[in-house]
Structure 1
C-alpha cells in the first residue's frame, strides 16, 4: 500500500488529503452497503450487534494499523465509531425488512 509522499507545500498536503478523503468516503459507502445487506440474513434484531464480531474486527484493524505505522489506538477508536454507526443503520434496515 502506498505511503504518504513528501509534500513541498501546504497546498500539496491539502490536495493529497482531499484526494484521500474522496477515496475513503467511497470505501466507507461500499462498506455500509455490505452492512445493510447483512440485515437480511439475520434472524433477530439482536443478531445485528455481535460483540465477538466487533472485537474480531478491532483486533484485525489494530494489526493493520501496526503494519502501516499507524497508532493502533487511533485506528481502533475510528473503527469503533464506524461500527456503532453501522450497527445503528443496520438495526433500522432490519426493522424495515421485518416489519409485519
Structure 2
C-alpha cells in the first residue's frame, strides 16, 4: 500500500438543525455531492481490484460482500443511520460495482489477449 491505512473509525456526522425546507434540501444536496465523490473513489479501487482477480467468480466474492455489509451495518448503528436503508443501499451499490469490476476484468483480459497476439506476430 502506497499511502497510510485509513482509520476504521469514522466520526458520526455533524448534523445541523435546519430552519427551513430550503435549508434541508441544501444539506441533502451537499451530502449527495459527498456521496458521489466517495462513489467515484470507490469505483477507482474496484477497477484496481480487477487486476488481482482471474475469473468472474473471483469478482463475485460473496464472503467479502457479507463482510462489507456487516461493517456498514455496524457503522450505521454507531452513527445513527437507519440500518435497513444502509443495507439496501449497500446491496444495490455492491451489485452495481460487481458488474463494473466484471467489465474491467473483461477489458483487462481483452487487452492481455491483444498484447499476446501482437507478441506472437512479432
Q: Same fold (TM over 0.5)?
A: yes
Q: Report the Cα offset of residue 73 of structure 1.
A: 1.7
1:40 is matched with which residue: 51, 66, 81? 51
1:24 aligned partner? 35
TM-score of the pair, normalised by structure 1: 0.95
Instruction: Show structure 1 runs of 5+ residues with no match.
Output: none
Note the 1:12-91 alignment, pairs <5 A.
12-91=23-102
Q: Report the Cα offset of residue 69 of structure 1.
A: 1.3
Q: Report the Cα offset of residue 43 of structure 1.
A: 1.7
Over aligned residue pairs, what C-alpha RMSD do you find?
0.9
Cα deviation 1:24-74 (Å, max 9, x = unaligned): 100111001100110011022210010000000010001000111122121
Matches of 2:85 and 2:28, distance apart in 1: 18
Equivalent residues of 2:18, 2:24 under 8 A apart: yes
Matches of 2:82 and 2:26, distance apart in 1: 23
Instruction: Show structure 2 runs of 5+ residues with no match.
Output: 1-11, 114-122
Count, aligned residues: 100
Q: Report the Cα offset of residue 2 of structure 1.
A: 2.5
Deviant stretches of 4+, over 2 Å: none
